[in-house]
Structure 1
Amino acid sequence: MAFQFNFTIDKHLEDELPAFENGALNSESSGKTSVLDSQKEKLKDGKQSSKEGDSFEKPLWGCKSSEVKAFPPCDNSLAKSDEITKNLGPKEKQPCLKVAKEHDIPKDFKKMVENKVLEVIPYLQHVNLSVVKMSFLKDTCGEDIVSKSLSSHSDLITGIYEGGLKIWECTFDLLAYLADEEIQFAGKRVLDLGCGAGLLGIIALKGKAKETHFQDYNSTVIDEVTIPNVIINSTSECEDEVSEPDVKKRRNSNPTQQLLSKCRFFSGEWYEFSKFVLNSKKAFAKYDIILTSETIYNPSYYSAFHQTLASLLDESGQVFLASKAHYFGVGGGIHLFQKFIEEKNVFETRTLKIIDEGLKRILIKITFKHTH
């Protein structure tokens, strides 16, 4: 039986850690795989993949570096929804409860993204995560998740780090599906749950979602990866949309800020995040769409995950979830999660797509059961 291991590290990152120079770094065999190396392989001969090559017109999910542009500083404002929800019910015991908090969007956009190296994929840009990791090693910040990840030989450290500094393979599967099926986000309230780089939420934002919220376990990921990615893509979106007749209007308002006013950013464990938004003084309305990728790898988290969906999804809302069939080492996977869903008898699931390349990957849709 072949096992696929989840930990990858760039050569220049290895050089930053003398203690690890003489040994290979191995990980828990979770089955999570980083997408960037595989996508770069596809770029070597300039060819597109078959199915993925149909989304976003030319969705060759490859990468190239580019210089980041300077953005004008703006005032910060966060959108409020117009509905109030009920408090969470009793919580089930969870393995770890990292306190949730909301992250402010900085007023100085330029400072937030300066010196960032970008990767470019169709219709999206994101900060180069290898460069981000290397900067963390040189200047330890906050949670110190990079050095802890390296010292433990794993991208998944329960209660400390949950893999947010990588873009996992299933994220690109879900991006392609959303484009192929022309999923509509206009006027919707959307949550990118376990967002990491935030690419799924950014697609919703570009699709004119009424609100787009981003949540990740680690505050470092939100501050150093998610928010910069949203700023970069919001700015490029505004530049594309502004036409000559709009120049005068643009002088009086900042379109980047208008887009960002639709966003909110949160970190923390799922139950704590749910409790935070439902009990916040800021107005909150439940989500019409929740997007989530590679978040069900650990069965220990299923109760918190299920409770979050049940608490935050609108009665007529839908969840789009991408996952591997099985995650070696941690034991989770789509079939085990679907069995968990059936036993809870709150939601129903429908398989949307099965990808058999490499480790089997599956996309499902989750909606509330409605009894008549």
Structure 2
Amino acid sequence: MSFQFNFNIEETESSAGECEISLSKSTPIIETKDVQPKGFNDLHGSSQKQCMEKNEHGNHGTHPTDGDKTVLCKPAVEHQIPEDVSGALENKVVESSLGLRYVNVSVVEMTLSHSDIWSECVVKKSITSNSDLISGVYEGGMKIWECTFDLIRYLEDEGVNFEDKCVLDLGCGAGLLGIFSLTQKAKVVHFQDYNSTVIEEITIPNALVNCDSDNSANNIDDEPCGKKTKKSAVKPELLTKCRFFSGEWSHFTQLMQNQVPPMKYDIILTSETIYNPTYYNALHEVLQNLLVNDGIVYLASKSHYFGVGGGVHLFENFIKESKVFNVHTLKVHNDGLQRMLLSLAFKNHN
């Protein structure tokens, strides 16, 4: 049984890689080939100070350097789990790998391309621009990037303890990292992505199909590829552990700090979120303000993202210069584009 995802990252200034991932019960096979660059940017971490700049049309947003287009910041919004589970999973096709189930994103994109009920219209805009990433509009959350599976394998192989932990899946996309921690008996799991469409159409459905009371983690890998979801009950005790948020990072940080009591996490999981160094400050703000003193961050990334200059080594230098966190390399994957797993912990923790 195998699953294949075809996607590309279109970048500025230099060439990027279009990756084909063949996912099986073992290790994904990654092939790369050159594609022509286009626009590649990320507003996940735009600062609140930038967000409050008012443009000439009366909108609050940042002014990108590549032309006159204004990038609008998205306030943090919480999304509720639907009462009608069957409705939320209608027309979804489910696949599985590494003991996790997830909806086929290509089917979701095809459905939304014909009838996009969300005001963001991210699928239509992605198709029109021929890009999986549009700055301030769509941040790639409907794709499953390979570093996610690298991190899941590491967490499982190392037996990382999630029991009774509060976990944040930051820049969650499909939410597989958070869902994995949910299967490992995490106490609380919060999911955050830039786009509300991603949360509603991908992340929440993925949480629902993994909380199916008719299936267990032990037999999920036997699920045939392309099986349509059936009407079924969902374990309420698992879903009550979950909360879902969309919006940019600075607003999300404020929203969590305004909770009573303020929300903090024992473990923060994040994958492929450090591709643009412009927004390292806002990412650092999330980690510094929302991680408990003895908490840990697990981060997965490609070593370098061509066109925007981000990547592991630049991020490590940024962290070291900030003098707040210790950063350690956990694992390096050299098949295809080099990928790395890192951990971060507060320097002042003994």
Q: How does the TM-score come out when normalised to structure 2?
A: 0.78
The 5-angstrom pairing of residues 48-197 of structure 1 reads: 49=26, 52=27, 93=50, 97-142=73-118, 143-197=120-174
Compute the displacement of 1:315 (Å). Answer: 0.6
Q: Report if the CA contact (8 A) 2:171-2:193 is conserved.
A: yes
Matched, 1:274 2:274: no
Instruction: Name the structure 2 match of 1:262.
Output: 241
Render the CA deviation track for 1:301-336: whole Å, top value 9, x for unaligned. Answer: 111101010010001000000000100112110000
Contact 1:222/1:266 (8 A) holds in 2: yes
Distance in 2 of aligned mates of 1:199 and 1:32: 23
In the other structure, the counterpart of 2:22 is 39
Q: Which residue of 2 aligns with 1:361?
A: 339
The answer to whether structure 1 residue 213 and structure 2 residue 190 are counterparts is: yes
Give the match for residue 8 of structure 1. 7
Q: Distance in 2 between matches of 1:235 and 1:141?
A: 26
Q: 1:226 aligns with which of 196, 200, 203?
A: 203
1:139 Cα deviation after fit: 0.3
Q: Quote the offset at 1:258 in angstroms.
A: 1.1
Amino acid corresponding to residue 200 of structure 1 in structure 2: L
Unaligned 5+ runs, structure 2: 31-46, 52-61, 63-71, 218-232
1:75 maps to what in 2? none
- Residue in 2 that maps onto 1:316: 294
Which of residues 322, 336, 340 is equivalent to 2:318? 340
Identity of aligned residues (%): 51
Mapped pair 1:301 → 2:284? no
Alignment partner, residue 28 of structure 1: 11
Partner of 1:244: none
C-alpha distance 263-32 of structure 1, shift in aligned 2 (>3 A): farther
- Superposed CA deviations along residues 224-274 of structure 1, whole A, max 9, x for unmatched, are 0000000100115x6439xxxxxxxxxxxx861111000000000001001
1:204 aligned residue (166, 181, 200)? 181
Task: Quote the RMSD (CA, aligned, Å).
Answer: 2.6
Higher share of residues assigned helix: 1
Once the two structures are superposed, what CA deviation does each residue of 1:153-186 show, in whole Å capped at 9, x if it has no partner? 2212111111001000100110110111011100
User: Which has the higher mean CA deviation after the structures are superposed, 189-198 or 138-147?
Assistant: 138-147
> Which residue of the partner structure matches residue 329 of structure 2?
351
Structure 1 window deviating more from structure 2 (147-156 vs 285-294): it is 147-156
Q: In the superposition, relative to structure 1, how do residues 233 and 255 fare at CA in structure 2: closer, same or farther (>3 Å)?
A: closer
- Structure 1 or 2, whichever has the larger Rg, is 1
Structure 1 residue 93 displacement after superposition: 4.2
Question: Which amino acid in 1 is paired with 2:148?
Answer: T
Structure 2 Cα separation of the partners of residues 61 and 264 of structure 1: 33
**What SS does structure 2 have at the residue aligned with 1:38?**
strand
Q: What is the total number of aligned residue pairs between the two structures?
A: 294
- Change in CA separation of 1:39 and 1:206 when aligned onto 2, cut-off 3 Å: same
CA pair 156-107 structure 1, distance change in 2 beyond 3 A: same
Deviant stretches of 4+, over 4 Å: 29-34, 90-96
Q: For residue 74 of structure 2, what is the amino acid of its counterpart? A: K
In 1, the alpha carbon distance for the partners of 2:311 and 2:329 equals: 14
Distance 1:179 1:233, change over 3 A: same
3-state DSSP of counterpart to 2:208: helix
Partner Cα separation in structure 2 for residue 134 and residue 255 of structure 1:
26
Quick one: structure 1 residues 191 and 31, their matched pair in 2 at CA, closer, same or farther if it must change by over 3 Å? farther
SS of match in other structure, 1:302: helix
Residues 201 and 226 (structure 1 numbering): CA distance in 2 closer, same or farther, change over 3 Å? same
Alignment partners' CA distance in 1, 2:239 and 2:168: 14
**Larger strand proportion of the pair:** 2
Per-residue deviation, 1:61: 9.1
Aligned partners of 1:32 and 1:292: how far apart in 2?
21
Q: Which amino acid aligns with 2:292?
A: D
Q: Name the TM-score, length of structure 1 as normaliser.
A: 0.73
User: How far did residue 151 of structure 1 move?
Assistant: 1.9
What letter corresponds to residue 212 of structure 2 in structure 1?
A: T
For structure 1, list consecutive stretches of 5 or more residues without a partner in the other structure: 1-5, 10-25, 53-59, 63-89, 242-253
Q: In structure 2, do the counterparts of structure 1 residues 91 and 136 end up closer, same or farther at CA, with 3 Å as the change threshold?
A: closer
